[in-house]
Amino acid sequence: MTYERIMGLNVIDDAEYQKYRAGMEPILNSMGGAFGFDFRVSKVLRSKSADPINRVFTIDFPSEEVMNQFFSHPDYLILKEQYLDHAVNSRTIISMHKKSD
């Protein structure tokens, strides 16, 4: 069993977003996490959020506890503030759930 988070973002600065991803992925991998799917979205046909979305991805963790540890990790928080907060103007959690491998 793994824990999956499905996210929708509105990326407004691709270069800064790529710096964020390059920095955070080693931290993610060191905790047993990984990206599953990653899409650039050209048109949203239906959404439960008023926020715009142009990127959708899945991120898998060994457990919900590991996911929470990752998002509160001091090195992750530095990258988030340095790159993500400037590269993305909206974030939508589409789903978080346990999944069978």
pLDDT, one tens digit per residue, over 26-74 is 999 999 999 999 999 999 999 999 999 999 999 999 999 999 999 999 9
Query: pTM of this prediction?
Result: 0.92
- For the stretch 44-77, what's the b/e string if a residue is b when 16 or more beta carbons lie within 10 angstroms of its beta carbon? eeeeeeeebbbbbbbbbbeeeebbeebeebeebe
Q: Which tokens is 63 given?
A: 């457990």
Instruction: Give all strands (DSSP E) within the chain, no chain letters.
Output: 2-11, 34-40, 55-61, 88-99
